[in-house]
Structure 1
Amino acid sequence: MIRTNHLIEFAKGAALLAMLALVVWTMPEREPTDISSDAEALPSAPMIAHQSRG
């Protein structure tokens, strides 16, 4: 018999996969300029998070 804890973990995984699929499917509809600006913004995000920690 499946425990409720396993069911909750499965629901979390399914929700994450659904959000990831939604992001992947909506990405090609963006303008190329949005994709390039996002690519430039991504490397700076971990640096900002790292600076806020210490």
Structure 2
Amino acid sequence: MSDEQANKIARAAAAETEAAALAERPRQRRREWMLLLVGLIAGALVSIPIGIWVNSIS
């Protein structure tokens, strides 16, 4: 196998990997936003009862 053939194979593999990563990016962003929203909602749901409890004991 010549260096030129090896370079062509390497470029093809790199292009295929990049295409797969590019297709995955929107799904990853959506997952990150959903985790952010779930975290914010969970934080609010936990902090409200704690706030009520602190107000009741003071």
TM-score, length basis structure 2: 0.47
Could you tell me how far 1:17 is from its partner in structure 2? Answer: 0.1
The count of corresponding residues between Structure 1 and Structure 2 is 32
Runs of 4+ aligned residues of structure 1 deviating over 4 Å after TM superposition are none
**Distance (whole Å) between structure 1 residues aligned to residue 25 and residue 36 of structure 2:** 16
Structure 2 residue runs of 5 or longer lacking an equivalent are 1-22
Larger helix percent: 2
- Measured against aligned partners, the alpha-carbon deviations of 1:14-53 in whole angstroms (never above 9, x if no partner) come to 0000000000010102238x8xxxxxxxxxxxxxxxxxxx
Aligned identity (percent) is 9
| Partner secondary structure for residue 31 of structure 1 | helix
Q: Counterpart in 1 of 2:3?
A: none
Return the match for 1:4 from 25, 31, 45.
25
Q: Counterpart in 1 of 2:43?
A: 22
**Distance (whole Å) between structure 1 residues aligned to residue 42 and residue 35 of structure 2:** 10
Structure showing greater radius of gyration is 2
Q: Counterpart in 1 of 2:13?
A: none
